[in-house]
Structure 1
Amino acid sequence: MRRSDQVRLFQTLPHACGYYADRTAQNLVLDPAAPNLDQLYEPALERGFRRAGGHLYFPHCASCHACTPCRIDVANFRPDRSQRRCLQRNTDVVVTECIPGYNRERHALYERYLHSRHAGGGMDDAEASDFRRFLTAPWSPTVFMELRTGPRLLAVAVTDICLNGISAVYTFYEPEEAGRSLGTFAILQQVELARRRGIPWLYLGFWIDGHPKMDYKRRFMPLQIRTAQGWIDMP
């Protein structure tokens, strides 16, 4: 590595785990003040890092190694029966790649989603500054994929697009439309976006074996997970 390519790596203090109430968590974070985060993003993705706001992080907990980076093999992915039904239920949805950022319509949907899915979790009173800080970064190659029926905004899939990988950063959607399976539909649209652009991987963040909130990722096969030996196909 050339000296100009070096970047500092920090470790956070222990904090409450977002997945297990009885555990604490720590992350490794690339220096958020590094001037070349835009250039570091793609190799960091390949190493299993994740973006949250302007931070690139990787779980690094002393007594737990449950969080496993995972990615969809785009070229070989085929929707299963349930995913095909999801596509059929949403034939009336129009998907548009939009400039990222805050507006009142997106923020109102974000608030409804958080109140429904994460009530009491500390995120459910998100202000405009919280929206901007969590979902966007000035250096990230982000698009907001808006899902609409007519003028009505149903979902926003925050999507980062690099040359060799797309990252599904965060999706929020209308809680009243649970029957549409909009989270699944958004991932299927991100797969199609990757296909159109000839991008081989769709990164889904972290998978946790046996965790009910993470089990849905197993359905997007073939799925790869990252181990100490590198990326391997999930058994």
Structure 2
Amino acid sequence: MKTLKYHTTHPYPCGYLPERMARSEVIAPDYPMDTATYGKLMKKGYRRSGHFIYRPQCEQCHACLSVRVKVDAFAPNRSQRRSWKKHQHLNARQQALHFEKEHFMLYQRYQAARHAGGSMDHDSSQQYENFLLQSNVSSKLVAFYEKKQLCMVSFIDELPDGLSSVYTFYDPDIKQASFGTYNILWQIQLCRTLGLNYLYLGYWIKAHNKMSYKTNFQPLEILRGNQWLPFQQIMDKL
């Protein structure tokens, strides 16, 4: 960890909060990253986008907070149990990172339906590969099928103490589905199968409605300073 080199980016438009500028602290890309080192960085609030490992470093905003599910204590609520029952027939195929046109086409449809007007709704195949198919750590792709129909694709990193949920996209045209909820439940179950303690869900922003779903998976822990604290214990102070 002491040999890592860091640099801070120039300000750029925030992708989460309109009219705000953001900065990130980035690990120098020439460092030979491995899974053990990345696991230590995750505990300090870093995330991965392709080969780039970063964390927010905004001078006047501290809205992005890392959260993780404490797997051994998690118990699904009634709505989550319904989601699990509805989709547990899906066939999950765990694979090495690779490009498939079918996956990319689903990604494009998902972005167009869920994030129209954002920075990712017209991603090229190269941008898709740079974002999701490049990794220096232990990563895998999980494709979910209903019979022969591709419904969802999820990307996860395997860490010494847990799994990191990198990104998930799914078929936006299947009505009354709850793929997002089911996917997190599936990853929690995989953590248990592998004997891992945490599912890292990335950043949570209180003012961002699309991130509110993360707080439904309790007990949740949140990184404040250099300490992971129970979300319910400090939620009123956030």
> TM-score normalised to the size of structure 1?
0.95
Is 1:26 matched up with 2:23? Answer: yes
Is 1:46 matched up with 2:43? Answer: yes
How far 1:214 moved relative to its partner? 1.1
1:71-110 matched pairs, under 5 angstroms: 71-110=68-107
- Equivalents in 2 of 1:10, 1:178: separation in Å? 44
In structure 2, runs of 5+ residues without a counterpart are 233-238
How far 1:136 moved relative to its partner? 2.5
Residues 51 and 229 of structure 1, relative CA distance in 2, 3 Å threshold? closer
Is 1:117 matched up with 2:109? Answer: no
- Equivalents in 1 of 2:207, 2:168: separation in Å? 22
In structure 2, what is the equivalent of residue 214 of structure 1? 211
- Equivalents in 1 of 2:44, 2:119: separation in Å? 29
| Structure 1 range deviating more: 209-218 or 196-205 | 209-218
CA contact 1:136–1:142 (8 Å) conserved in 2: no
In structure 1, what is the equivalent of residue 195 of structure 2? 198
- Equivalents in 1 of 2:174, 2:46: separation in Å? 31
Residues 36 and 229 of structure 1, relative CA distance in 2, 3 Å threshold? closer
* CA displacement 1:132-163 (0-9 Å, x = unmatched): 10012241211111111011110011011112
RMSD between aligned residues: 1.3
* CA displacement 1:168-215 (0-9 Å, x = unmatched): 000011001252111111111110110000010100001112421111
Is 1:151 matched up with 2:148? Answer: yes
In structure 1, runs of 5+ residues without a counterpart are none
Give the counterpart letter for 1:94 in structure 2.
Answer: N
In structure 2, what is the equivalent of residue 68 of structure 1? 65
* CA displacement 1:71-92 (0-9 Å, x = unmatched): 0001111111110011111132
In structure 1, what is the equivalent of residue 221 of structure 2? 224
Give the counterpart letter for 2:117 in structure 1.
Answer: G
Identity, % of aligned pairs?
35
- Equivalents in 2 of 1:91, 1:138: separation in Å? 29
* CA displacement 1:88-128 (0-9 Å, x = unmatched): 11132111211212110100111111111111212112222
- Equivalents in 1 of 2:32, 2:92: separation in Å? 33
Equivalent position SS for 2:174:
helix
1:139-178 matched pairs, under 5 angstroms: 139-178=136-175
> TM-score normalised to the size of structure 2?
0.93
Give the counterpart letter for 2:99 in structure 1.
Answer: Y
The count of residues paired between Structure 1 and Structure 2 equals 232
- Equivalents in 1 of 2:62, 2:167: separation in Å? 22
- Equivalents in 2 of 1:167, 1:81: separation in Å? 25
